[in-house]
Amino acid sequence: MQLGVIGLGRMGRIVADRALDAGHEVVAFDVDAEAVAAVADAGADPAGSLADFVEQLGTEKRIWLMVPAGDAIDAALADLEPHLDDEDVVVDGGNSHFEDSTRRAETTPAAYLDCGTSGGPASAEAGFSLMIGGPEWAYDELTPVFDAVATGPAGHARMGPAGSGHYVKMVHNGVEYALMEAYGEGFELLSDGRYDLDLESVARTWNNGAVIRSWLLELCEEAFAEEGSDLGTVADRVEGGSTGTWTVQEALSQEVPVPLIYTALAERFGSRAANGRFARRLANRLRYGFGRHEVARSE
């Protein structure tokens, strides 16, 4: 199949490479000319502009967008729109908000598939997990490409109608936050607790047969191996947060309690306070107010 890929960064390049490896023809475009040149070296047909891109695709276009979520998707769709019709298929493989995806599915002239993509750049060799929403015929049509980009046929599925793919990926990311927080708390107790432990060894042991083994735990093992048990110079600051915020907002609107996901998100926000958490500093001062407990002060 001929596949057009727009966005050749960390994730889009993997989509292009895996499609090429499976024997598909790839037409590739990115606003970064160097990224286009690099994927051309790998066997893709380079497009120097969006006009060149759509011209090379011809009729019955199959297009995979892998650009940052938000304005970049709308900008790419606005440029593509005059060239699309209802026989074409557009896949958004980024972390878009599911409500943006349902809106785009209604307004895009082509069939629109919202595709939650999990695995990250580390899954270049193994393939991704793909959670897809949108019309069944379009999902069936793109299945050979999904087989190639995912771990295989078991690595992708149609979740339901428009929006459902990105909805499932949003919740996936909420779970990701909570799991990271749970591992973080456990290792913090081990790090600060009674025994002088080699945390790489703990993680390796857990990864071999323990109930809590997982890929995230393998990444913990890798982090301790590379940074040391004390995590060396790794800062107490966690970026990101958009998909976790959406998960919590959606849980509130559905009145579903998600305290673990909320706590993990709040910990991230708390990690970014410039001078330590204001709330913790106030609690420190209040203990003096009611109990005359000594106030710990920074230098």
Ligand X SMILES: O=C(CO)[C@H](O)[C@H](O)COP(=O)(O)O
Q: Is position 95 annotated in a ligand binding site?
A: yes
22 versus 124: smaller Cβ distance to ligand NAI:
124
Q: 210, 203, 205: which is closest to 225 by C-alpha?
A: 203
For residues 85 to 104, the per-residue mask of contacts with ligand X, x marking binding by CB under 6 A and - elsewhere, is ----------x---------
For residues 244 to 283, the per-residue mask of contacts with ligand X, x marking binding by CB under 6 A and - elsewhere, is x---------------------------------------
Q: Check residue 121 for interaction with ligand X (CB under 6 A).
A: no
Which residue numbers are catalytic?
169, 176
> Rounded to the nearest whole angstrom, what is the least distance from the CB of residue 21 to ligand NAI in the complex?
18
Among 240, 259, 276, 289, binds ligand X (CB under 6 A): 240
Among 3, 4, 5, 8, binds ligand NAI (CB under 6 A): 8
Residue in this structure with the two tokens 């970064």, named with its chain if needed: 32
Beta-carbon contacts of 115 under 8 Å, excluding residues fewer than 6 positions away, are: 91, 92, 93, 130, 131, 132, 133, 165, 166
Q: Check residue 7 for interaction with ligand NAI (CB under 6 A).
A: yes
Task: Please give the DSSP secondary-structure letter assigned to residue 296.
Answer: P
Tell me how crowded residue 276 is: count the other CB atoms within 10 A of its CB.
12
> Rounded to the nearest whole angstrom, what is the least distance from the CB of residue 151 to ligand NAI in the complex?
14
Beta-carbon contacts of 167 under 8 Å, excluding residues fewer than 6 positions away, are: 98, 133, 159, 250
Considering only 72-80, 102-110, 217-225, 257-265, which stretch makes contact with ligand NAI by CB under 6 A? 72-80
The helix or strand, by DSSP H or E, that contains position 64, with its residue range, turns out to be strand 62-65
Provide the residue type at 280 as one letter. R
Q: Check residue 7 for interaction with ligand X (CB under 6 A).
A: no
Residue 297 burial class via C-beta count within 10 angstroms: exposed 0-12, middle 13-18, buried 19 and up: exposed
Q: 192, 183, 182, 187: which is closest to 263 by C-alpha?
A: 182
For residues 78 to 117, the per-residue mask of contacts with ligand NAI, x marking binding by CB under 6 A and - elsewhere, is ----------------xx---------------------x
Among 5, 11, 47, 91, binds ligand NAI (CB under 6 A): 11
Q: Contacts with ligand X in 132-191 (CB under 6 A)? A: 173, 176
